[in-house]
Structure 1
């Protein structure tokens, strides 16, 4: 099951994260600086949306076959992930063998000091793999056995609240300040810190499956969007630990249920396509940045303005993501689909 109006929001989140990483020193956003300076919460949005989509894709099943499921999930992200990693290694030159091994196994986010080595954005995929491994066990033992979501929802809300308290306490603790590098990696990149975001997305997906009716709720989407902007401006976000779920969850559910102008506009095939290639935009952002810097130097384009150079980088990044989608992601999906037949529709998630 694919919800077309949701797909484009992935592209928006990915581009905001790219601007956060490479655009802040270049642009003077003035009245919008609070959005771009906190755009790293886009990773939280990805995790919540991932949990939501996973539940939509599998929620009507009685049981998840782990073997085929993991092949689907593996095919969905690992080929692009590994290409981004190899590109980064080739452009960086000298790399630590331990970093290569951890990144190949997608375990870098579990070990302080290694989360951002090689292809930095890959840390979030390391976390995502953990979610993928955990989901079928949660589904088969909890979600599929519950006629209503009240019990799981209560537990997930409790976990979310505990994470908020613990992370904010930890940032002010002596351990965090005594071991800043390890403490920073633990609080920002450790998979268990982000589990609440994926679980909250699961609960939102369960709610949507039980109340799927389309509604012309465009005004409410606008209200939640404005509330999200206000939250980014006035709430002190110490870390992206899932606090923005207060805004992201209602936004995702409202957009998924929308049957008004919002759906009609964001269902345009071009916008959906940008959403489809957004994973490549996200995972290739660092190696493509390194590559563009080398090309600019090689072809003596150093006099190019920083703003112009950034937009050249964005265009080049999107082009690489499109090629990756057409030459890697789609063929892999098609191959896996042929191996199982009609059950492959979940690869669209």
Structure 2
């Protein structure tokens, strides 16, 4: 690839004025996206609700079978939606904030300085407090080095700290981003719609590809015993399969910045997301987890970014919402440990509906308190300290 390709003028000049001014390289420099920050906590809370609703003896808190069943029916797709939202959001944010002439190693340094310290602290807490004897030594090693999502074994994928598998997958996204970003920038703006359509089509075909190519196996998904663990791993956890969600976020950001995105607004994006979420409960597992909500999630992310770029206040751009969004990464990584500890403290005891709801609220509060401490004492200071090299690095542009 030539230096002329790398120095090619940005498509920001074709974007709407407000988006162009707020976009990377615009007159005002890189924009903040408070709405997208604020949306991170609801996505993390969806994952919390899914784990809290698992119909297993080690997570269930409600004594009433009917209440427990309704709770799980409501939250059965929430974990998949939360993870999909994060994967698409990650690609969008990284593209929106990409720095001109940024070396790949500088990008990798910033990303890993942000995620690895918090990941390791949450991993150590989970290992010492709830999983010291449960995980096999090699599972502990796989999760420590963030490679668990590459192993076709559900027990290993979720070992030590259950939500950590998605960070294993995200690490692969970060490794690929500099090359993907350069490739996407070379796509003519008027061709972006075709790439977006093709990416969505391949995502939609992922379950069919899985059913066709992957062996059924004998293992099943723990909370969905009618579904193959092999299918679940390949379609939902395997990093190259989930790279499509990340790519969709990159393409959506590029389309917004190039003025090639048709914005339907946050309200209608939210209505569509709720509608597809409900519909996902009536579709086969892999289609519900991978297909139903991915386009509405992308629409909502784009609408939120455009609202921020245009200076419009939203429900998620306030101070409280953005603070929750800032601590949401740590919340995502520690909530499962809190849920497990509370379940162990309860022993075999199940709770009335009112008391069960109170316990869930308390678990959210405790998780937030721990998350705030991790954000204030680990994530923020270490990100500031280690995201910049001690001396200037040679500028070998990749983005």
Q: TM-score, normalised by structure 1?
A: 0.84
Residues 32 and 5 (structure 1), Cα distance of their counterparts in 2 relative to 1, 3 Å cut: farther
Gaps of 5+ in 2: 1-30, 55-59, 220-227, 394-399
Preserved contact between residue 156 and residue 196 of structure 1 (Cα < 8 Å)? no
Aligned ranges 1:1-349 → 2 under 5 Å: 1-23=31-53, 25=60, 28=67, 36-40=75-79, 41-58=81-98, 61=100, 63-90=101-128, 91-94=130-133, 95-113=135-153, 114-140=156-182, 142-146=183-187, 148-151=188-191, 154-155=194-195, 157-171=197-211, 175-176=215-216, 180-211=228-259, 220-235=265-280, 236=283, 238-239=285-286, 240-258=289-307, 263-294=313-344, 305-337=355-387, 339=389
Sort the Cα spacing of 1:267 and 1:181 in 2 relative to 1 into closer, same or farther, 3 A. closer
Q: What is the distance in 2 between the residues matched to 1:237 and 1:262?
A: 39
Q: Alpha-carbon deviation of 1:88?
A: 1.4
SS at match of 1:175: coil
SS state of the match for residue 277, structure 1? Answer: helix
* 1:26–1:224 CA distance, 2 compared to 1 (3 A): farther
More helix by share: 1
Distance between the aligned counterparts of 2:78 and 2:380, measured in 1?
A: 29
Question: What is the alpha-carbon root mean square deviation over aligned residues?
Answer: 3.3
Task: Write the distance in 2 (CA, Å) between the matches of 1:174 and 1:143.
Answer: 30
Contact 2:200 2:295 in 1 (8 A): no
Q: Distance in 1 between matches of 2:390 and 2:185?
A: 22
Matched residues, number:
334
Are the counterparts in 2 of residues 35 and 232 from structure 1 also a CA contact under 8 Å? Answer: no
CA contact (8 A) 2:41 2:325 kept: yes
Structure 1 segments unaligned to the other structure (5+ residues): 344-349
SS of the residue corresponding to residue 50 of structure 1 reads helix
Judge conservation of contact 1:157–1:200 (CA < 8 Å) in 2: no
The answer as to whether partners of 1:194 and 1:242 remain within 8 angstroms in 2 is no
Decide whether the 8 Å contact of 1:16 with 1:42 is kept in 2: yes
Cα contact 2:184–2:251 (8 A) shared by 1: no
Out of 44-53 and 285-294, give the one that drifted further: 285-294
Q: Which moved more, 1:120-129 or 1:166-175?
A: 166-175
CA distances 1:135-184 after superposition (whole Å, capped 9, x unpaired): 011123x13444x3444653453243233224135347782265533333
Report how far residue 104 of structure 1 moved.
Answer: 1.6
Deviations 1:4-35 (A, max 9, x none): 11111110011111011104655749999765
**8 Å CA contact retained: 1:76, 1:333:** yes
